[in-house]
């Protein structure tokens, strides 16, 4: 499984989400966010993005750490609870 993680400088949440993804057997591609990349990401997914990290899996924007953690809990939990 592969995930693209859009990161910022000195971002502890970026480190946390990368660890979470690696612990769940994801191969990670990191992209440092700049103004151009942020604009492209917002246009592609038709949403406003104000924070990093932002995670894309299977060409779907998942969101930040909390959204990825919720997705992982759903995948790994019994009865998706």
Model confidence band, residue 77 (pLDDT cutoffs 50, 70, 90)? low
Q: Tell me the pLDDT tens digit for each residue of 42-68.
A: 999 999 999 999 999 999 999 999 999
Query: Which CATH code is given to the segment(s) 2-80?
Result: 3.40.30.10
* Residue ranges of domains in the chain: 2-80
Here the tokens at position 48 are: 């406003």
- Radius of gyration from C-alpha coordinates of the chain: 13
pTM greater than 0.85: yes
In the predicted model, what is the mean pLDDT of residues 24-48? 96
Distances (CA, A) of 17 to 35, 36, 79: 22, 23, 24
């Amino acid at each position: 499984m592969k995930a693209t993680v859009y990161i910022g400088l000195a971002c502890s949440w970026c480190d946390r989400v990368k660890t979470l993804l690696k612990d769940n057997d994801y191969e990670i591609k990191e992209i440092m966010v700049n103004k151009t990349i942020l604009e492209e990401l917002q246009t592609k997914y038709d949403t406003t993005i104000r924070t990093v990290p932002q995670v894309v899996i299977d060409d779907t924007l998942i969101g930040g750490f909390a959204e990825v953690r919720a997705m992982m809990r759903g995948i790994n939990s019994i009865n998706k609870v």
